[in-house]
Amino acid sequence: MDQKIFTQYKKALKNRTIDITCRGILIKDVSILNKYYEKESIKRACEEGCPNYGKKWSCPPFSKPYYELMDGYNEAALISFSVNMNSYVEIKNKYTAMKAANVTLKNLIEKVARKVEMETNGYALLSGSCRYCRPCACKTNQKCKHPDKMRYSIEATYLNVQALCEELLGFELLWYEKKILPKYTSTVSLIFLNENFVKEAMMEIIKDVIETY
């Protein structure tokens, strides 16, 4: 049976204390992911709306469908971190506030995902495009410089992240629009696994990463 995770933390950073909500689910039957595979519409949205389209090896049209990356794995863990934007209200420029919150969340979730990868011999889909090199070697028509470290985002593998969050984690992703801060912002990761990874092990990793960040 799928195991769900819900836990909250108060984390003191250099300039502020933030409220983090962690949600997760350990998916035993990965065939459920097929319901969220929407290659054509996601590829079109990237092509029409993203300046990175065709400029990063981790992004469409060069990214791979999730099922190719999942080959050889039979379980998955979907995890999300959300932070309440109340903790950032004193930053006048709202875009800067969003960026600050997202950088923290992306760093945290990547640390958790890489740790789970190591412990389970898994493979993680992260949040956002690969940021290992700047600029990505794709821009100059060179091969990926760190194919072992490069990871795709969930969206880049053509999975509908909003629907995954709503239906499997029970919350909605909110966006920054018209210079208005959403109530919270979130990052999401999907990790493919083989081990019989349990909820307690995931919660231990999350706690450890947040406490030592």
Q: What is the rounded distance in angstroms from the CA atom of residue 185 to the CA atom of residue 66?
A: 24
- Region of 40-48, 63-71, 129-137, 187-195 interacting with ligand SF4 (CB under 6 A): 129-137
Helix, strand and coil percent figures for the chain, each rounded to 5: 40, 25, 40
- Which of 5, 100, 150, 164 lies at the binding interface for ligand SF4 (CB under 6 A)? 150
Is 137 a binding residue for ligand SF4 by CB under 6 A? The answer is: yes
CA angle 111, 152, 139 (to 5 degrees): 115
How many other C-beta atoms are found inside a 10 Å radius of the C-beta of residue 107?
Answer: 15
Distance between CA 111 and CA 97 in Å, rounded?
22
CB of 54 to ligand SF4, least distance (A): 13
> Taking CB under 6 A as the rule, does residue 152 contact ligand SF4?
no
**DSSP bridge pairs for 77:** 26, 191
By the rule CB under 6 A, 62 interacts with ligand SF4: no
| Residue in 83, 85, 109, 130 binding ligand SF4, rule: CB under 6 A | 130
146 counts as binding ligand SF4 under rule CB under 6 A: yes
Q: Does 144 bind ligand SF4 (CB under 6 A)?
A: yes
Q: Which residues bind ligand SF4 (CB under 6 A)?
A: 56-58, 130, 132-133, 136-138, 144-146, 149-150
